[in-house]
Amino acid sequence: MDFKGSDTIPGPRAEDQLPHTAQSAAKIVIVGGFGVGKTTMVGSVSEITPLTTEETMTQAGIGVDDNFGSASKTATTVAMDFGRISITDQLVLYLFGTPGQQRFWFLWNGLFEGALGAVVLVDTRRLEVSFDVMGRLEERGVPFVVAVNSFPDAPRYDLEELRTALDLTPDIPIMECDVRRRASSRDVLMTLMRFLHSLAMTGSLT
């Protein structure tokens, strides 16, 4: 990396700076398959233009004779878009749009472990793409809600039919959304927060 031009590294615009009173931040993860609308959702509610953080993953080659060093490894860059919502002068909420494949998750320390909860975005044209991610969240005890992003040519199912197909427990919220609309994305986030609140009330979160 060439840092000779460090003076010119563009930072946040003046109006995008957090106040000095900002004490702590929390995060929410939006997870789903490629093209399901994660970046669109982040962008529709974020107060800043979505940014991207990257991580490099060295993928070991397939096979047993792998100990020849870098020759058998390839580096893959994984990107994650994120946005930000200032909640109060002290509290900031970050939203991360994360690829559905679990092998990417541990690249970012505590991404799921530390998140307040997750939104699983699904596309009914490729419902099965989200099966694994939901299972992983269940295994890790990460609370999530399901949001069905409605694409025009996608098959239409009734939400109860989808709940059955996705084998969701009755308490897990499932809703339709159009993440291009800020109000709709906000409703999804509100539903997640209400769900987390209900879990905090009953103490059923382990």
Partner 1 sequence: MTPPQRQRRDPTPESPPPQEGEGKVRNPERMYVVAGPDGERAELDLVTLIVARAEDPPPSASPEQAALLRLCAAPLSVAELSAYLHLPFSAMGVLLTELLTAELVQARAPIVRQSRTDRSLLEAVMNGLQRL
Ligand X SMILES: Nc1nc2c(ncn2[C@@H]2O[C@H](COP(=O)(O)OP(=O)(O)O)[C@@H](O)[C@H]2O)c(=O)[nH]1
Which tokens go with 168? 């969701």
Pattern 183-202, binding to partner 1, x per CB under 8 A? ---x--xx--xx-xx-xxx-
User: 120 with 51: CB under 8 angstroms?
Assistant: no
Give the interface segment with partner 1, choosing from 30-38, 79-87, 173-181 (CB under 8 A). 79-87
User: Site residues for ligand X, window 141-200 (CB under 6 A)?
Assistant: 149-152, 178-180
Q: How many residues are given for the chain?
A: 206
Cα distance between residue 66 and residue 64, in whole Å: 5
Binding positions for Mg ion, rule: CB under 5 A: 38-39
Could you tell me what percentage of the chain is helix, strand and coil, using 3-state DSSP and rounding each to the nearest 5? 35, 30, 40
By beta-carbon proximity to ligand X, the closer residue of 97 and 117 is 97
Which among 102, 84, 98, 79 has a CA at the least distance from the CA of 38?
A: 98
- The verdict on 177 binding partner 1 (CB under 8 A) reads no
Check binding of 36 to partner 1 (CB under 8 A): no
Partnered with residue 148 across adjacent β-strands are: 122, 176
Residue 38 CA, distance from chain mean position: 7
* Binds partner 1 by CB under 8 A, chosen from 13, 15, 62, 170: 62
83 touches, from ligand X, partner 1, Mg ion, none (C-beta below 5 to 8 Å by class): none
- Residue 17 is a binding residue for partner 1 (CB under 8 A): yes
DSSP 173: -
What is the gyration radius of the CA atoms in the chain, in angstroms?
A: 19
98 is a site residue for ligand X (CB under 6 A): no
Query: Would you state the structure tokens that stand for residue 194, as one six-digit string?
Result: 């209400």
Q: In angstroms, give the least distance from the CB of 31 to Mg ion.
A: 11
Task: Tell me: does residue 40 bind ligand X (CB under 6 A).
Answer: yes
Q: Which is nearer to Mg ion, 121 or 145 (CB)?
A: 121
Could you list the residues that contact ligand X (CB under 6 A)? Answer: 32, 34-40, 97, 149-152, 178-180
